[in-house]
Amino acid sequence: MAEAARKIWVTRPRASATLVTIGSNDLVDDVRDMILRKYANSLGKTYDSPDLTLRLNTRTGVSRVLGPEEHMATVMEQFFPNGQTVDEAFIIDIPRNTTTPRPSPRAPAPPIPGSGSGSTAYYADDVRPSESGEGYFPPVVGTATSPRLATKHTNGSMPHSMTVISSGHLPPIPSPGGSRPRSHRDRETHTPSPNVHSGGGSGGVGPNSASYHPTRHSHSRTHSSSSEHIVAHPNNSMPRSPGHEIAAAARMGPGTPPSPPQRLVSPHLPTLRTRKSKRGQAQQQDYQQNPPPPALNAKVPPISVLIVEDNPINLKLLEAFVKRLKVRWQTAMNGREAVKKWRSGGFHLVLMDIQLPGMNGLEATREIRRLERINGIGVFSNAPAEATPPEELTEEDRLEGLAKFKSPVIIVALTASSLQSDRHEALAAGCNDFLTKPVNFVWLERKVMEWGCMQALIDYQGWREWKQYSAKAEAMEAANKRAQAFKKQSKKNRTQLSES
Amino acid sequence: MALPDDKELEAIFGDTIDLTTFKQILEMDEPGDNEFSSSIVFGFFDQAEETFASMDTALDAEDLEKLSELGHFLKGSSATLGLVKVRDGCEKIQRYGKQENLDGSPENDVKVCLEQIKKALTAVKSDYEEVETGLRNFYKDDDEEEGV
């Protein structure tokens, strides 16, 4: 009889063979199980062991399919009495059934956040950006999740989801009912913009170079010096023209829930600035591991930020920080005040402390989302309304100056806790993102930048006006600085001045 | 003031301050003066002393809820400055104020909670004094260096 355990060679067609250990009493059926364990990724996520067939392939030309009931050791002795060579590896065949598509190397279709379920959609831990620098996009576990879901909706009629537009970061958890044409990604990846770094995993560090964040390591050299630049930031779906994705954003089609329509995972945007444009590739690589201190002359889009924080020390620091980013800001020290300020309109981003006296950050977030919903902010035509019966819009809840509410505000939670459950709660309440306190300024700047860019896409006209204005302001500032430097110089160093 | 290097800061503050966090506040100073960071730090001194006083009062009144709130409050700002020991002490007070042990399990005995808070408050005050002295020296030295 055969020895207690032996190894056999198996291989997938035209692939490298591998050894599988079998016991003396194992049947072909058992071997299939072991093969699935060995090919846990490529086969295991898609196929069950009965789907596989093993084909015998001897040097003498014998080729037949092994039945599941055959005794493996016997087969070995019969066909390979002198031992099996690599070239004689059993071939693993998988069914070629078109109704069981293989996992695409691309991402599965993204869920349309919140679709069908109102405001509470949020993603599991493994798609949350962590704040630990390199782990921003953690290893993607869901790449091969259910291929059925991934391809079922291939011919969906929805033009664009905001998620794709703004982030290019596709949450891997397919949501039932999510639909998105897969083809448009390919259509739009290439664009005339010189600043777009397309192509998979440039930089490709670590586990993050997952296939569907192809541009996450790209760094736009210059920021906002021409219209293409800013739209080039959201990673993947690069629009061809600035106008294009405004329209696209406005076309959030069927499947988009009434509101709050978008729970976005933060788009990852590069933070390199103009100043650093001369840096070489090496530094860029280095940057990925060790983000540099924030470039405080950053040109963050003209967003208006509401800072909600009850501790005056923290508030002061956050204020000083956003001031340097040259964005407009206001503050609120509790949830009620935050909602009140938000109702005055015009905010793009809320940095929301969660634990606040009185109405806490989560309650305030829920209230803001509720008001957005019933006032129809961010809801586009023909969104199916049957999921949640429309709430009565009372006079009390009516927002003044709806024009100032171009899109749902982005709420970034500031949590003292690093507990996942707290984060989930924040996301469930309607926050888009979160930062752990003490806030790392590099991260804060990134968030402001990322979300600001996204909001700038939505309010493109506003952004253009700001561009023109800021270019002028900058020129004036530069002139002022020169004048001041000159004054200082002349004051401190008269002798030197007189020499010149 | 030039940004002091890590060794220098470590010598002054030891393990009382998380340097990464504290340094990002120093980095916000304009070159040549530390007005901003010192205003934050000295603002914190005021806040801490006020909060400790309120904690004493709340402890006398055996007001656990208030103690928890105060603990949370000071935890926020001490964490922002990187004052890790103070932060941890405040967290203890916050926890026991909520009648929780440090691991989050419930602690139903009010007496135990008050006792733990009392201990934690004494400890956090002394940790605070230590780091306060360090910070005051740090800013004093800087002023001298600049010859102001």
- The packing angle between helices A242-250 and A441-458, to 10°, is 80
The answer to whether residue A319 neighbours chain B at the CB level (below 8 Å) is: no
User: Residue A414's closest chain B neighbor by CA?
Assistant: B76
Under an 8 A CB cutoff, do A314 and B25 touch?
no
CB contact under 8 A, A312 and B47: yes
> Per the domain annotation, does B8 fall within a domain?
no
pLDDT at B40: 94
- What's the CATH code of the domain at B111? 1.20.120.160
Half-sphere exposure of A132 (CA within 13 A, CB side): 6
Q: What is the pLDDT of residue A212?
A: 40
Position B144 scores a pLDDT of: 61
B69/A357 Cβ within 8 A: yes
Residue whose structure tokens are 């220098």: B8
**Number of residue pairs across A and B with CB atoms under 8 Å?**
53
**Neighboring chain B residues of A351 at a CB cutoff of 8 Å:** none
What pLDDT does A441 receive? 85
Q: Is A425 exposed, middle or buried (0-12, 13-18, 19+ CB in 10 A)?
A: middle
pLDDT at A155: 43
DSSP SS3 for B47: helix
pLDDT in tens, A385-422: 444 555 677 778 888 777 778 788 999 999 877 678 88
Of the candidates A311, A312, A317, the beta carbon closest to that of B25 is on: A317
Of the candidates B28, B76, B82, the beta carbon closest to that of A416 is on B76
What is the H or E stretch that residue A63 is in? none
Count of structural domains within chain B: 1
* A304-308 and A18-23 beta bridge pairing: unpaired
CB contact under 8 A, B36 and A320: yes
Sheet order of strands, A53-55 included? A18-23, A5-11, A90-93, A53-55, A65-66
Say whether A324 and B28 touch across the interface (CB within 8 A).
Answer: yes
Contact (Cβ atoms closer than 8 angstroms) between residue B19 and residue B6 = yes
Q: A6-93 in CATH: which number?
A: 3.10.20.90
Contact status, residue B70 vs residue B93, Cβ threshold 8 Å? yes
Q: How close is the nearest chain A Cα to the Cα of B43, in Å?
A: 7
Phi and psi (nearest 5°) for A362?
-70, -40
Give me the residues paired with residue A7 across strands. A21
Interface test with B, best of A309, A311, A318 (most B CBs within 10 A): A311
Query: Per the domain annotation, does B5 fall within a domain?
Result: no
For residue A406, count other CB atoms closer than 10 A to its CB: 17
Under an 8 A CB cutoff, do B43 and A316 touch?
yes
* Domain with B107 in it: 16-137
CATH 3.40.50.2300 domain span(s) along chain A: 304-382+391-479
Mutate to test the interface with B, among A290, A317, A360, A484 (most CBs of B within 10 A): A317
Of all residues in chain A, what percent carry a pLDDT higher than 70? Answer: 50
Pick among B77, B81, B84, B90 to test the A interface (most A CBs inside 10 A): B77
Q: Return d(Cα B25, Cα B36) in angstroms, integer.
A: 8
- Asked, for residue B35, whether it belongs to a domain, the answer is yes
Q: Do B25 and A355 touch (CB under 8 A)?
A: no
- Quote the ipTM score: 0.90
**How far is the C-alpha of A413 from the C-alpha of A369, rounded, in Å?**
14
Residue A311 to residue B55: CA distance in whole angstroms: 16
Question: What pairs with residue A27 in β-bridges?
Answer: A71
Residue B20 falls inside a structural domain: yes
Question: Could you report the average pLDDT of every consecutive run of 10 residues in chain A (500 residues)?
Answer: 70 85 86 84 79 81 83 84 84 67 44 41 41 39 41 41 38 41 40 37 38 38 36 38 38 39 43 40 44 49 88 93 87 94 91 88 95 80 48 78 81 83 89 87 86 76 68 77 69 53
Domain-located, residue B133: yes
CB contact under 8 A, A314 and B80: yes
The continuous run of DSSP H or E covering A91 comes out as: strand A90-93
DSSP state of A404: G
Residues from chain B contacting residue A353 (CB–CB below 8 Å): 76
Q: Answer whether CATH 3.40.50.410 is correct for domain A304-382+391-479.
A: no
**Low-confidence stretches of chain B (pLDDT beneath 50):** 147-148
Minimum distance, in Å, between the CA of residue B57 and any CA atom of chain A: 19
State whether A311 and B82 contact (CB < 8 Å): no
Cβ pair B28:A416 closer than 8 A: no
**Residue A365 pLDDT:** 96
Tokens of residue A377, six digits: 């902010």
Take residue A194 and report the two structure tokens written for it: 């010189």
**CA-CA-CA-CA dihedral for A167, A434, A349, A363, to nearest 10:** 130
Domain presence at residue B144: no
Closest partner residue to A438 among B21, B27, B36, by Cβ? Answer: B21
pLDDT single digits (tens) A61-96: 778 888 888 888 888 888 888 888 888 888 888 876
Residue contact B21–A355, C-beta within 8 A: no
Contact B73 A310 (CB under 8 A): yes
| Cβ A201 vs Cβ A129: under 8 Å | no
Neighbours of A204 (CB within 10 A): 12
A positions 391-450 inside 8 Å of B (CB): 416, 437-441
- Which residue of B24, B69, B77 is in closest CB contact with A314? B77
Q: How far B116 CA lies from chain A's nearest CA (Å)?
A: 22
Q: What DSSP character marks residue B99? A: T
Nearest CA to A348 among A377, A319, A383, A312?
A377
pLDDT value of position B67: 96
Residue matched to tokens 């005794």: A71
Instruction: Give CATH 3.10.20.90 domain extents, chain A.
Output: 6-93
Q: Is residue B43 part of a domain?
A: yes
Phi, psi (rounded to 5 degrees) for A159: -70, -55
Cα dihedral A158, A160, A161, A163, rounded to 10, equals 160
Determine whether the interchain pair A313/B43 forms a contact, defined as Cβ–Cβ distance below 8 Å.
yes
In a domain, B148, yes or no: no
CB contacts under 8 A, A 341-370 vs B, are: 353, 355, 357
Residue A438: closest C-alpha in chain B: B80
